[in-house]
Amino acid sequence: MDQEQTPPVTMTTPVRFLPGVGAFRAEKYAKLGLRTAQNVLFFFPRDYERPAPPRSVDKLREGEQASLIGTITDAELASRSPGKSVFGAIVENETGAVRILFFNQPYRADQIKFGQRVVISGVPKLTGLRMEFVHPQITMLDEQDDYPEPKILAIYALTEGVKQNDLRHLVGNVLEILGDEIHEVMPERLRSESADVLRAAGVEIEGPLYDIQTAVQQLHQPDNEASLQAARLRLVFQELFVMQLALAMRRRKLTSDLQSPPLSPSSVIDSRILNRFPFELTNDQRQAIKDVSQDMACQFPMNRMLQGDVGSGKTVVAVYAMMLAVANGHQAVMMAPTEVLARQHYQTLCKILADSRVRIGLLCGSISRAERSETIQAIASGEIDLLVGTQALLYGDIQFSKLGLCVIDEQHKFGVGQRVTLRSGGVDPHYLVMSATPIPRSMAMTLFGDVELSTLREKPPGRATVNTYLAHDGWKDRWWSFVRERLNEGRQAFVVAPRVVPTTKSAAEDSDDDESEDVSSVQTVFEDLRKGVLSEFQIGLLHGRMTADEKMATMQEFAAGEIDVLVSTTVIEVGIDVPNATVMTILGAERFGLAQLHQLRGRVSRGSHVGHVCVFSDGDQPPSENERLSLFEKTNDGFELAEADFELRGPGDLLGRKQSGMAPLRIADPRRDIEILRVARTMAQTMIEEDPELDAPDCHDLKSQVMRRYGKRLNLGDVA
């Protein structure tokens, strides 16, 4: 009877059936996402080990990576105990001699012989009077061999039970079997054209982009530095190009498939709206209003993001857009991430439109069932022109009579799916999303590559400066004395305690919901201050576990000056506008991101009085030694901080589904690859303009990859 043959290895072969793996190791590899042979091929290195050029013995430095060419002049295998051994040898050249050691590798005795020429590479250590290399990388040379170029070794992400050599061996095996079978999706003419455009943009590249087989091979096992960079360039460009094609297709979908009501701003409407604002607009606000007005006059949906630093006046632009919709006989809705902020927007609209016929509604989680039902009916009948709400807008059967505009405040607080729910219902309203967290340029072309962008950099006139201080525990007495002085002058203060997520709450359950926080930290700070250094002042407490009515009551008391000091979690991060509050103390500052710290600081720059922010950190490290906190102290510019924060944190999963609908990047880094990204974006937009459906015969495979990676996401969000 014929013995059963082992099936050939293909891209879909499970890792357990690859040569030398088996079920036990396959479980380890699965933790790294390696389940098939194709997963292994596209498991890209996270870094590389680059052996140093050869040195003479006298130039070796303990702890510094080094290479050495020499001859084996002595070698010995010794057994210390059963199953344990040490192989030692002397490598000598005209500049001196070093020792090499291998523990529990007895086979080295058959490999490394007296008189053998070798190249060793590793990190030397001084033992006695001689340098010693433990487990160096070793290359055998023939007598006539010249010194080979140091071999660049891939460094992969690891998990428990998996070693670097295990992964290198696995990848090498799969490359040998399947390396020539990797499917090419970029036709040769596109690889050549891309290389020309990249060169014109200043990117170093010789010849056309690598074909995919060469690129993957050289990324894992580069012949030299030049081939490694060429391989990375090919794969980075393809990843960004496929993403930009998806974004360009989605953008075209907005302008061709969807229809929205044109909401034109006549000179009369424009004057009537602007006269509602009791202050002079900044140039940036006027330009943003012009951008929005032009978009809303079109018959396809506006898809614009309005980003601006803290206190730059984004709400004014949003109010203009909402009033423009109403002036054209349509409804507008604004969604905010918290009830505190939603109610504040509602009050702002009520104040601006106090003597008008515009009807304004509020829909939040805390309103009664009867109020909600009444409001929903008024929305459906068209009795309500402007609606403000929280995520309560997303639930229940809300039907608008004639929806023309959706405004989403603090867009990063909402997932794509939530925003799509808001825009569904048989209509295609215009969309304006706002962000007080400035977005780095590279991220704007990825996260928001299909969105028009307006930016507010100017601050409205009359806003005072804010001084920021990094403090250590020795400052506390002086700082609290300073706080008391400001309070005695009639000013008010914030004290921010770090938000702590309960340890019993799983990561999957955690969210931006304020109710998920552990309030023990803020309550402790509140009690300590109430009974201690600020006992003579009226102190209030605000956190996410409070009811909506309790939060609103506390904020109203603070705004009215009935509370001197508000002790809070980051629930005050956005939308709190109390011009008389000019002092802020941030505790446990190392737990906050740069953007969040800047948002918090924005609460004390709302009026004409100079603001003061002092940050304290927990633990042994003083704030001055924390790079993020030092940056926070040095600049008040949110755009500079956004770029710096992105440099420090990296893209991570910023391109994940929650915020953008885009899949995470595997190899590209928008920070490092900004020029490649620009080229990919320009070429993708041009290609979609010329061939909207990618119907060219040689683009069939490219289109398939776009749809596999982003097809389901194309309909997820027309808004960022």
CA-nearest of 143, 145, 73, 144 to 113 is 73
Higher pLDDT, 512 or 432: 432
Reading the block at residue 358, the tokens are: 């515009």
Q: Which residues touch 710 (CB under 8 Å, ≥6 apart)?
A: 242, 243, 246, 662, 663
- Residue 264 predicted with pLDDT over 80: yes
Average pLDDT over residues 13-28: 92
Q: Are 271 and 698 spatial neighbours (Cβ–Cβ below 8 Å)?
A: no
Question: Given this model, what pLDDT does residue 600 score?
Answer: 87
Give first-to-last CA distance, the chain, whole Å: 63
**Between helices 225-256 and 212-220, what is the axis angle to 10°?**
130
Which CATH number characterizes residue 125's domain?
A: 2.40.50.140
Residues 292-302 have pLDDT tens digits of: 999 999 988 89
In a domain, 649, yes or no: no
Do both 284 and 319 map to the same domain?
Answer: yes
In a domain, 578, yes or no: yes
* Confidence band of 427 (pLDDT split at 50, 70, 90): low
Lowest mean pLDDT among 15-19, 43-47, 410-414, 610-614: 410-414
Do both 450 and 347 map to the same domain?
Answer: yes
Do both 167 and 231 map to the same domain?
Answer: no
Do both 278 and 368 map to the same domain?
Answer: yes
CA-nearest of 48, 45, 41 to 183 is 41
Residues 530-566 have pLDDT tens digits of: 999 999 999 999 887 888 788 888 888 998 999 999 9
Question: Given this model, what pLDDT does residue 718 score?
Answer: 39
Position 214, amino acid:
T
Reading the block at residue 608, the tokens are: 């004409």
In a domain, 139, yes or no: yes
**Between helices 674-690 and 225-256, what is the axis angle to 10°?**
40
Residues 323-368 have pLDDT tens digits of: 999 999 999 999 988 887 888 889 889 999 988 899 999 998 888 8
CA-nearest of 137, 104, 107 to 120 is 137
Do both 486 and 533 map to the same domain?
Answer: yes
CA dist 126 and 63 (Å) reads 9
In a domain, 658, yes or no: no
Length of the chain: 720
- Residue 527 predicted with pLDDT over 80: yes
DSSP state of 46: S
Do both 358 and 477 map to the same domain?
Answer: no
CB atoms closer than 10 angstroms to residue 143: 8
H-type helices in 179-279, by residue range? 188-200, 212-220, 225-256, 267-274
Do both 45 and 82 map to the same domain?
Answer: no
- Residue 50 predicted with pLDDT over 90: no
Do both 427 and 496 map to the same domain?
Answer: no
Question: Given this model, what pLDDT does residue 450 score?
Answer: 63
- How far from 688 is each of 208, 703, 704, CA to CA, in Å? 22, 11, 15
Phi, psi of 17 (to 5 degrees): -100, 5
DSSP string, 143-204: TTPPPPPPPPEEE----TT--HHHHHHHHHHHHHHHGGGPPP-S-HHHHHHHHHHHHHTT--
DSSP string, 669-720: -TTTTHHHHHHHHHHHHHHHHH-TT--SGGGHHHHHHHHHHHTTTTTT-S--
Report percent pLDDT > 90 for the chain.
49
Reading the block at residue 291, the tokens are: 């951008």
Which CATH number characterizes residue 366's domain?
A: 3.40.50.300
Rg of the Cα atoms in the chain: 32
Do both 289 and 383 map to the same domain?
Answer: yes
- Residue 40 predicted with pLDDT over 90: yes
Do both 205 and 171 map to the same domain?
Answer: no
**Edge-to-edge, what's the strand order for the sheet holding 581-586?**
466-470, 611-615, 581-586, 492-496, 565-568, 539-542
Number of domains in the chain: 5
Q: Are 384 and 375 spatial neighbours (Cβ–Cβ below 8 Å)?
A: yes
In a domain, 316, yes or no: yes
Higher pLDDT, 155 or 617: 155
- Residue 474 predicted with pLDDT over 80: no
Q: Are 328 and 404 spatial neighbours (Cβ–Cβ below 8 Å)?
A: yes
In a domain, 138, yes or no: yes
- Residue 418 predicted with pLDDT over 70: no
CA dist 289 and 452 (Å) reads 13
Q: Is the pTM of this model over 0.75?
A: no
Position 488, amino acid:
N
Residues 192-214 have pLDDT tens digits of: 999 999 999 999 999 899 999 99
In a domain, 354, yes or no: yes
DSSP state of 491: -
In a domain, 665, yes or no: no
Do both 554 and 494 map to the same domain?
Answer: yes
The whole domain housing 367 covers 267-456
Do both 612 and 554 map to the same domain?
Answer: yes
Strands of 353-438, DSSP E: 360-363, 386-389, 403-408, 430-435
- Residue 507 predicted with pLDDT over 90: no
Q: What mean pLDDT value characterizes the chain? A: 84
Could you tell me what percentage of the chain is helix, strand and coil, using 3-state DSSP and rounding each to the nearest 5? 40, 20, 40
Q: Are 692 and 245 spatial neighbours (Cβ–Cβ below 8 Å)?
A: no
